[in-house]
Structure 1
Amino acid sequence: MLDSVNVTPLDGRVARSVRTRAAIVDALVALLEEGSAQPTIEEIAVRASVAPRTVFQHYADREALFAAVSESRSAHLTVLMGAIDAGGELEERVAAIVAQRARVYEWIAPVRRAALLMEPSSESVHAALESFRATKREELARVFATEIAAYPQRGRATLVAALGAAASYSSWAALREQQGLDVEAASAALERTLLALLTSC
């Protein structure tokens, strides 16, 4: 059996490393939420109360740091997505999807804007965004499977694509940022769009 005297120092270093990594991630998220789309390593270090070299000791580059942010937020994102019953009335399911997208998009918006800037030059960021996009499309296909199956076969792929576009982050951002709608008004616009698509045979 290992002596606790030998174990404790190592455990202490590991714990400090974990705390430092978490502080760096939290610092980046805080800066993004304050509107800084591309904070510098120096800004992140100041917010995390560490030296810039410490940031690089834990994260080799900005891509690795953004990957850590994505990983740290994934559990909460799963909770926000929730579980939507695919067997309810159409209006209820549309309302549930709209509520889901509103709470998810409002929460991810600051980090999402930064990720979109990085996507063209970052394979890991691109992969993370594509994975989430696929998850959202699959959720729409599951929740509205009945309506999609009832649609004329030649138009199903177009309907699925239209649903995905309408319920995308880009569409939500257009409603909130470009048109200046509040969450309630943006939700109403999205709900009306989805209902129109799903009832137009």
Structure 2
Amino acid sequence: MPKPRQHTDGRVARGERTREAIVAAHTALLLEGVLKPTGQAIADRAEVSVRTLWANFKDLEALLNETTAYWMAADDELRRPVDPSDPLDDRIATYCAERGRRLEHIAPAARSAALGEPFSPALKRSREAHIRRLRSEIETVFGRELEAAGPQDRDALTYALIAATGWPNWQLLRDDYELSPDQIVAVMSKTCHALLDPFG
């Protein structure tokens, strides 16, 4: 005899809440600078058993799939449209300020991901998605200048902007040179002006 639907729905809802709690716990540990949280640490933070953790996520890769989706959604929430018709100075200022907010937010996850990327398809896919997003945003915001650069210089200019405003450059200046976020945004802005002003 089939069980009442409401009981099934209740179990599904509890299961979703448990999974959300586990992802939130994993995320919180990354935000605190724990680069490689153990299953026990994640379970403790989520207030579940390790058995429950791995019953909901069959392995670490499954958990990483959920966690990287969380970070991508969080990045979506921080995105602010930059009007491509605005003057170049305004676009650079808005774009670099936004990149600064987003890169500083994603930094804990990016540092952790760097340790696991060689072994994790989920982390590789996440990095590739962020790279595609970065290029798409640059081509949208600075499309006029890229077009003005002409086919010979367009790709080089695009890659230079990617390098100037991407995560590796942010990490170098933040971690190795210990610059503040505002200082790095200023560096990015100056670099973007140097690259784009000749075509503006």
TM over 0.5: yes
Matched with 1:18 is 16
Structure 1 residue 146 corresponds to structure 2 residue 136: no
Once residues 182 and 9 of structure 2 are traced to their aligned partners in structure 1, the CA distance between those partners, rounded to angstroms, is 49
TM-superposed CA distance for 1:8, in Å, is 1.9
TM-superposed CA distance for 1:63, in Å, is 1.4
Superposed CA offset, 1:21-69 (max 9, x none): 0111111111111111001101111111111111111111111111101
Q: How does 1:3-82 map to 2 (within 5 A)?
A: 6-82=4-80
Identity fraction in percent? 36
Q: How does 1:49-198 map to 2 (within 5 A)?
A: 49-198=47-196
TM-superposed CA distance for 1:116, in Å, is 1.8
Letter in 2 for 1:134: R
User: Deviation above 6 Å: which 4+ runs of structure 1?
Assistant: none
> How many residues were matched structurally?
198
Once residues 15 and 107 of structure 2 are traced to their aligned partners in structure 1, the CA distance between those partners, rounded to angstroms, is 29
Once residues 156 and 82 of structure 2 are traced to their aligned partners in structure 1, the CA distance between those partners, rounded to angstroms, is 23
TM-superposed CA distance for 1:128, in Å, is 1.6
Superposed CA offset, 1:124-166 (max 9, x none): 2101210111111111011111111111432221111111111
Superposed CA offset, 1:63-116 (max 9, x none): 111110122333332121221111101110001110111111111111111112
TM-score normalised per structure 2: 0.94
Structure 1 residue 199 corresponds to structure 2 residue 197: yes
Unaligned runs of 5+ in 2: none
Higher relative contact order (CA 8 A, sep 6+): 2
